[in-house]
């Protein structure tokens, strides 16, 4: 990317999120929020041909549609809803609470994306896994786009 060159919202959002979390010192809150906003924007602008819906409208519906259509299938609808709650907590309450939940943020290469079982009333959110979840979503979208482009 260079100044003055056109770029998509997705490229800009992911680039800026990676820049924020990779800075010294890292801007974890800002970068993580950018990643989650990218998920929402994916749901507002993209959908699979086989999906029974077009791009979603509304923040929550858009976020959930992106997770369902493009997210790692190892994560379920309750995980998607919890991730949306994390997005809202970061955007509106600086990340501490959301939808009557408390969030504890960790950075681990091995911990799961979400863990609501370790501490009652609290959900552990692994930022490294969250960033990977979104990066993998974007990579999958790129593969789908390349396949569709090569067939046309």
pTM for this prediction: 0.88
| Distance (Å, whole) CA 24 – CA 118 | 31
Alpha helices of the chain — where are they, by DSSP H?
9-22, 28-45, 59-70, 77-93, 127-151
Contact (Cβ atoms closer than 8 angstroms) between residue 13 and residue 2:
no
pLDDT single digits (tens) 15-54 = 999 999 999 999 999 999 999 999 999 998 887 766 666 6
Q: Mean of the per-residue pLDDT values for the chain?
A: 88
- Any long-range contacts for 13-19 (C-beta under 8 Å, 24+ apart)? 13/37, 13/38, 13/41, 14/38, 14/134, 14/135, 14/138, 17/131, 17/134, 18/131
Contact (Cβ atoms closer than 8 angstroms) between residue 41 and residue 10:
yes
pLDDT single digits (tens) 55-112 = 666 889 999 999 999 999 999 999 999 999 999 999 988 878 777 889 999 999 999 9
């Amino acid at each position: 990317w260079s100044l003055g060159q056109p770029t998509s919202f997705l490229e800009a959002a992911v680039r800026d999120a990676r820049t924020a979390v990779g800075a010294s010192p890292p801007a974890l809150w800002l970068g993580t929020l950018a990643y989650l906003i990218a998920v929402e924007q994916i749901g507002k602008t993209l959908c699979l041909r086989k999906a029974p819906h077009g791009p979603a409208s509304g923040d929550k519906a858009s976020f959930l549609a992106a997770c369902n259509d493009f997210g790692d299938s190892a994560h379920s609808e309750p995980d998607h809803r919890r991730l949306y709650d994390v997005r809202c907590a970061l955007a509106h309450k600086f990340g501490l609470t959301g939808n009557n939940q408390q969030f504890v943020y960790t950075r681990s290469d091995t911990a799961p994306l979400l863990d609501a079982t370790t501490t009652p009333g609290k959900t552990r959110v692994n930022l490294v896994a969250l960033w990977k979840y979104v990066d993998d979503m974007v990579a999958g979208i790129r593969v789908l786009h390349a396949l569709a482009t090569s067939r046309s």
